[in-house]
Amino acid sequence: MQAPDDWDRPDAVASANAPALPSLQKDNCIRNGRYRSVFVAQENIRLYIWKAGEKNVGSLTVTAADCLETREFQDKWHSYLNSLKRELPTGMWTRERQPRSGNWHAHAAVNVGWDIQFNFPREQVSQGFYANVDPRLRRLWKYLREEALSRELGRVELLPLKYSGPACARYFTKYLAKAFSSEKAGGEEKCRLFGIWGGVRFLHSRFSFASSRIIQKKKQWFAEQMLYSDPSELTKLSKHWWFHFGKALLEVAMPDDFYRVGAPDNRKLDEVGYNAKARDYGVWLDGCTDELVTRSHFNLFRDVGSYLFKGDSRQALEFAMHMVAKPDVKPPTPLDPQLILNLERAIARTRKNCSP
């Protein structure tokens, strides 16, 4: 008699529940790496504009007509960068493919060394009339055009920044996120989309959210404010709390001593603390003031209140006012109505300046 097929035999023992295989659609490590790359590029550009001064920084755009090959554009662009350094010693660039044609073009934030926004006739320039442009800028335009022409590049445009530094940094890096989230053409996996020249880097690619001393201290402070003993308990607030409140927490400005290290009687501002302080204060346009610290805390807690009360703006506002007015030891005291008005005006002014 023929033995039954192996597939028809019953199992000798009950099958154990095997652990679920990881989903191929979940690429948390890759996604976090991409987010970090965009964050590093954006912060470098924002701090570069902040340090050089918005009035001294120009937006340079270089197009490459009929240039689809990555290697061809890289050769032309790097050759053009060598010529840029003669007139523009420092700068930061990003590049992308044009959506329709697929040709490469690049954007760069450059410090020209003088106030190019003063009396710049933007309307006249947009209509092709350049007689009232600063002669120094016209000379620089001529140099940039001639160098681009010799390398068979297309149109070159250098204009003053149209928006605030943080908004321009987001504009320069907005297509990096698109590039990282889409499939690249074959052979472009290692193509750099962001670069720096002139030794003005503020944040390095090895930056890690997990290892940042300042961010860990901010998480601890946030947990204490929410009456948690440890940052790991913030998941009680929301499983994805960093997704909801991470950006506002990164922009929170703290008192000067928060960024220092060392013994209580000899606190010093090291490089990490200095860069973090510049990054946090650079988000705001009013400089280092007590009102700035309060305002940044207010913004964070209003986001938390909006999440807790499901978008109810009134309850979110009351929650934020309670949190910024909450003293360390004394019972809660009502917040000065004038301070509330100042906070609301400052928030509206900041949003207007930071919006592209």
Torsion of Cα atoms, 248 then 251 then 256 then 259, to 10°:
90
Q: What is the tens place of the pLDDT at every residue in 258-289? A: 888 888 888 888 887 887 787 777 655 555 57
CA distance 322 to 335: 8
Which residue type occupies 98?
Q
- The tokens describing 297, both together, are 């805390």
Q: What is the tens place of the pLDDT at every residue in 67-82? A: 666 677 778 888 888 8
- Say how many residues make up the chain: 356
Q: What is the CA radius of gyration of the chain?
A: 26
Which residue type occupies 330?
K
Q: Under DSSP, is residue 261 helix (H, G, I), strand (E, B) or coil?
A: strand
Of 136, 129, 183, 137, the closest CA to residue 159 belongs to 137
Neighbours of 288 (CB within 10 A): 13
- Please tell me the least confidently modeled range out of 22-36, 119-133, 158-172, 286-300: 22-36
- The tokens describing 108, both together, are 């760069």
Which residue type occupies 283?
V
pLDDT surpasses 50 at 12: no
Confidence band for 27, pLDDT divided at 50, 70 and 90: very low
pLDDT surpasses 50 at 23: no
Whole-number pLDDT of residue 270: 83
Mean local confidence (pLDDT), 56-63:
89
pLDDT surpasses 50 at 182: no
Q: What is the tens place of the pLDDT at every residue in 113-124? A: 999 988 899 889
Percent of the chain with pLDDT over 70: 69
CA distance 105 to 77: 9
- The tokens describing 228, both together, are 């948690």
Mean local confidence (pLDDT), 304-311:
88
Identify any residues that bridge with 197 across adjacent strands, giving them in sequence order: 91
Cα 282 to chain centroid distance, Å, stands at: 12
| Mean pLDDT of the chain, nearest integer | 76
Mean local confidence (pLDDT), 247-254:
83
pLDDT surpasses 50 at 9: no
Which residue has 């099958």 as its token pair?
Answer: 15
Neighbours of 61 (CB within 10 A): 14
Of 88, 98, 71, 80, the closest CA to residue 147 belongs to 80
CA distance 110 to 76: 19
Domain segments of the chain: what residues? 28-197, 213-354
